[in-house]
């Protein structure tokens, strides 16, 4: 059982606060660290991995400080976001080197390469690898010493769907084995598929923590905005506003469209086509106007 504790950690770079007083505990199983780009996820992961000193607060692994403690790496496996990885080596040479640096041999390297299913390309130079292959070799290098904590910074970036699924299966397996696995992502769906427990970071602050479904509900229950064009905007507006799922409608004359604010996402999406059909109105455009992740997150922060 490995527990990573982040205790009132802040980190600033000059005047910029990248991480603002975050406290969280990461236990066994898979945890997703979710946040938009620039939210401070990488800064946080760098502090968790002992590559960056917190400006204030402490990061400990089962009570041991992580910063300036090389021995801690016997327990931590790290998959960095950056691409660079001794491209002049073959995949096998790279993983063997990583094993040797842990005081292990070829056997451990071979086992790790098998785990990520990279044996078939292990004798090719890393410089010839695709993004997904690189990611898997990085993963193998992080697994050679059988760590109890695995930290992955945006591991799915640039992977195709099949590679993504393979890596997800692997991480799920690691979590089921009782390892503590933490990965960061700015993509909601990725986190949803993999992690039951999530930590949300927005603008350096800890915005939410806990079960994914609960947080997902928070995200979907927020007011949704839609842009709708129809064969009869005013008749549609009149019919929709009668239902409590809609809290406001603006007739945008210049756009020739309705701007609708819905408070009950599920009910509104069922209501709209029904109302249109009942009134003989044709729907021409239905587009959510604030679906960007940033707006979801900013809503979460405000909640």
Partner 1 sequence: MYDPTVARLTYRALLGRRRALILGALPLLLIVIAVAVRALTGADDQTAADVLGGFALATMVPIIGVIAGTGAIGPEIDDGSVVYLLSKPLKRPTIIFTKLIVAIAVTMVFSALPTLIAGLILNGNGQQIAVAYTVAALVSSIAYSALFLLLGTVSRHAVVFGLVYALVWEALFGSLVPGARTLSVQQWSLAVAHKVAGGNLVTSEVGLTTATVLLVAVTALATWYAGQKLRALTLAGEE
Binding site for partner 1 (CB under 8 A): 13, 18, 37-38, 40-43, 45-46, 49-53, 68, 70-74, 76-78, 80-82, 84-86, 88-89, 97-98, 100-103, 141, 153
| For partner 1, the closer CB: 63 or 161 | 63
Q: 123 near 172, Cβ under 8 Å?
A: no
| For partner 1, the closer CB: 88 or 254 | 88
| For partner 1, the closer CB: 87 or 250 | 87
Nearest to 2 by CA among 24, 27, 38: 27
In the complex, the smallest distance separating the C-beta of residue 264 from partner 1, rounded to whole angstroms, is 36
3-class SS shares of the chain: helix, strand, coil, % to 5: 40, 30, 30
In the complex, the smallest distance separating the C-beta of residue 283 from partner 1, rounded to whole angstroms, is 41
Q: 105 near 114, Cβ under 8 Å?
A: no
| For partner 1, the closer CB: 53 or 165 | 53
In the complex, the smallest distance separating the C-beta of residue 35 from partner 1, rounded to whole angstroms, is 10
Which residues have a Cβ under 8 Å from the Cβ of 50 and sit 6 or more positions away?
Answer: 59, 66, 67, 68, 69, 72, 73, 76
| For partner 1, the closer CB: 105 or 266 | 105
In the complex, the smallest distance separating the C-beta of residue 3 from partner 1, rounded to whole angstroms, is 19
Q: 176 near 30, Cβ under 8 Å?
A: no
In the complex, the smallest distance separating the C-beta of residue 93 from partner 1, rounded to whole angstroms, is 9
Q: 182 near 5, Cβ under 8 Å?
A: no
CA 143 from chain centre, in angstroms, equals 21
């Amino acid at each position: 059982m490995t527990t990573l504790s982040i205790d009132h950690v802040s980190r600033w770079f000059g005047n910029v606060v990248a991480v603002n007083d975050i406290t969280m505990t990461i236990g066994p199983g898979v945890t997703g660290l979710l946040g938009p780009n620039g939210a401070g996820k990488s800064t946080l992961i760098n502090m968790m991995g002992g590559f960056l000193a917190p400006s204030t607060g402490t990061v400990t692994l089962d009570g041991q400080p992580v910063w300036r403690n090389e021995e801690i790496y016997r327990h931590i496996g790290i998959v960095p976001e950056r691409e660079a990885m001794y491209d002049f080596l073959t995949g096998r040479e790279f993983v063997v080197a990583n094993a040797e640096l842990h005081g292990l041999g070829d056997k451990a390297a071979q086992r790790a390469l098998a785990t990520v299913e990279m044996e078939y390309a292990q004798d090719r130079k890393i410089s010839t690898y695709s993004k997904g292959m690189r990611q898997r070799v990085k993963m193998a290098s992080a697994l050679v010493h059988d760590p109890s904590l695995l930290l992955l910074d945006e591991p799915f970036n640039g992977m195709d769907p099949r590679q993504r699924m393979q890596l997800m299966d692997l991480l799920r397996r690691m979590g089921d084995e009782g390892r503590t696995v933490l990965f960061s992502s700015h993509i909601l769906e990725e986190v949803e598929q993999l992690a039951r427990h999530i930590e949300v970071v927005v603008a350096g602050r800890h915005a939410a923590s806990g079960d994914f479904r609960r947080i997902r509900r928070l995200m979907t229950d927020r007011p949704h905005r839609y842009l709708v064009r129809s064969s009869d905007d005013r008749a549609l507006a009149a019919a929709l506003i009668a239902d409590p799922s809609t809290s406001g409608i603006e007739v945008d004359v210049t756009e020739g469209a309705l701007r609708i604010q819905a408070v009950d996402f599920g009910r509104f999406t069922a209501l709209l086509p029904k109302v249109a059909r009942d009134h003989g109105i044709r729907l021409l455009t239905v587009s959510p106007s604030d679906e960007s992740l940033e707006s979801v997150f900013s809503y979460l922060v405000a909640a």
